[in-house]
Amino acid sequence: MIDRIKALLRQVETLEAHSAEELEALRIKYLSKKGEIPSLINDFRDVAAEQKREVGKFLNELKEKTQDRINELKERFEQGQTGNRTFDLTRTAYPAPSGTRHPLSIVKKEICDIFGRLGFSIAEGPEIEDDWHVFSALNFAEDHPARDMQDTFFIRHHPDVVLRTHTSSVQTRVMERQQPPIRIICPGRVYRNEAISYRAHCFFHQVEALYVDTNVSFADLKQVLLFFAKEMFGANTDIRLRPSYFPFTEPSAEMDISCVLCGGKGCPFCKHTGWVEILGCGMVDPNVLDNCGIDSQIYSGYALGMGIERITNLKYLVKDLRMFSENDIRFLQQFEAAN
């Protein structure tokens, strides 16, 4: 019986049909109730018990290969093909347009590449976070305004669970499980409970950087910021640092760059100041290091954070933040050359 099965296997491998009628005849010959394979299955009952396992294996293989070959020939006819592959006559005569990367993805990659050349690695974390990693570990006071419902999305029935308001929560997670040296950037989406307008949205994207080691100083931070600004906006870009306040850094600063349009001379875009704000930064507060299990008597560090939408606006002069999330193909096609 095995010889009969092997002979049929060789036949099945070379089956061809040049019309639907021929294909139906093959199906009837091999797979119908009175066909070759059902006939073999009926004879299988008379096979000796010690041979049933081997014969059954060949019989199953024959049935599967026959069905596969019939389906393959049928698919050819359904696609308007016989024998060799031909042109698909149902395909449109116009080439399908290729897609492009989103402008935010383009800018995020550029930012990550710049910091990557400085030795920073990428770290990621959950968008649904707990109060500790988003606020408490970062030195936010219990009555800090950022904890208020006006700024933060809280998960219903879980007052300690929030949608992260910044990617600093990734920094706290990394510091909890890793001892210095730490050199990371944290790109990701964040959420704020704000009214949607041309200049604000309830979700946006950030990239934050963190460097913790021994003897890290504000001078180190300034050199990184200067390098980033010149790589991102051009070699002639100047920076300035203004004192500011953030709960998780001390001292803190905000960084401006010379206006990309007027070169610092003053124009409506920079409100005739010659400067445009792009990010916040500072030395990591010792309390934050201690909260995360890092000895602030030995280690110090700096952190910085920027909105990707803000940087994209500066590079491409996009005036309405809502355009980034509307997926208007006319808007996205403008960035084909940047891919």
CA proximity to 121, closest of 203, 178, 190:
178
Rounded alpha-carbon distances, angstroms, from residue 268 to 190, 239, 257, 279: 30, 19, 15, 20
Name the 3-class secondary structure at 162. strand
User: Considering Cα of 285, then 289, then 290, then 294, what sign does the dihedral take?
Assistant: negative
pLDDT at 222: 96
**Structural contact between residues 285 and 301, judged by C-beta atoms closer than 8 angstroms:** no
pLDDT at 306: 95
First to last CA, the chain: 63
pLDDT at 50: 79
pLDDT at 243: 95
Query: CB count, 10 Å around CB of 283?
Result: 19
pTM score, whole prediction: 0.68
Query: CB count, 10 Å around CB of 22?
Result: 14
- What is the C-alpha separation between 330 and 133, in angstroms, rounded? 40
Tens of pLDDT, residue by residue, the chain (339 residues): 777 777 888 888 888 887 778 888 887 887 887 788 878 777 777 777 777 788 778 778 878 888 888 888 888 776 655 445 566 677 777 776 777 788 999 999 999 999 999 999 999 999 999 999 999 999 888 887 777 656 888 888 888 899 999 999 999 999 999 999 999 999 999 998 888 887 788 889 999 999 999 999 999 999 999 999 999 999 999 999 999 999 999 999 999 999 888 877 888 878 889 899 999 999 999 999 999 999 999 999 999 999 999 899 888 888 788 888 888 888 888 887 666
Query: CB count, 10 Å around CB of 235?
Result: 7
Structure tokens at 1: 């019986």
- What is the C-alpha separation between 194 and 200, in angstroms, rounded? 7
pLDDT at 41: 78
Structure tokens at 318: 């996009």
